[in-house]
């Protein structure tokens, strides 16, 4: 677990949080003034495929919020993410903020290319800033 810290913000890559022996690991954990915000991207080989990854990621975030391990979750999912169980978690847990990306945008972000649609970057940036400063 590597941590990057500024005066008030600490970012930890792949943090491992525990509750009663169960481990919760996310892509990153932002800690700002005591608020813990988990950043999660489900493991999906192709963002165009329908997968249960977003459901399990949403469930992990919800459980971590319920057990007071984190205060908020930021979830990045494919644009066409659907499913009753996934949607029920998202609809009933306002502490989970969702950003939906197209397959092309996700690939550009992962590959480090700065050609993704600016509106999606702005939306993701605004959600992260709001969550950290809230």
* Domain edges within the chain: 2-133
Q: Bigger pLDDT: 2 or 64? A: 64
Question: Whose CA is closest to 73, among 62, 84, 81, 83?
Answer: 62
Helix-strand-coil split of the chain, %, nearest 5: 35, 30, 35
Kindly report the CATH class assigned to 2-133. alpha beta
For residue range 45-66, list pLDDT tens digits in order. Answer: 656 566 788 899 999 999 999 9
User: Are the beta carbons of 74 and 35 closer than 8 angstroms?
Assistant: no
User: Are the beta carbons of 64 and 94 closer than 8 angstroms?
Assistant: no
Average pLDDT of the chain to the nearest whole number:
79
pLDDT reading at 5 higher than 80: no
Q: Which residues contact 20 (CB under 8 A, 6 or more apart)?
A: none
pTM score: 0.77
Helix (H) or strand (E) holding 70: none
């Amino acid at each position: 677990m590597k941590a990057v810290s500024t005066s008030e913000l600490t970012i930890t890559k792949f943090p491992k949080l525990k509750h009663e022996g169960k481990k919760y690991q996310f892509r990153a954990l932002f800690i700002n003034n005591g608020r813990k915000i988990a950043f999660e991207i489900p493991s999906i080989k192709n963002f165009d495929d329908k997968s249960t990854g977003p459901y399990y990621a949403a469930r992990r975030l919800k459980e971590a919020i319920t057990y007071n391990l984190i205060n908020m979750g930021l979830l990045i999912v494919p644009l066409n993410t659907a499913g009753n169980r996934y949607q029920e978690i998202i609809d009933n847990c306002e502490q989970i903020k969702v950003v939906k990306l197209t397959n092309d945008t996700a690939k550009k972000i992962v590959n480090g290319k700065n050609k993704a649609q600016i509106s999606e970057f702005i939306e993701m940036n605004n959600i992260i800033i709001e969550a950290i400063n809230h």
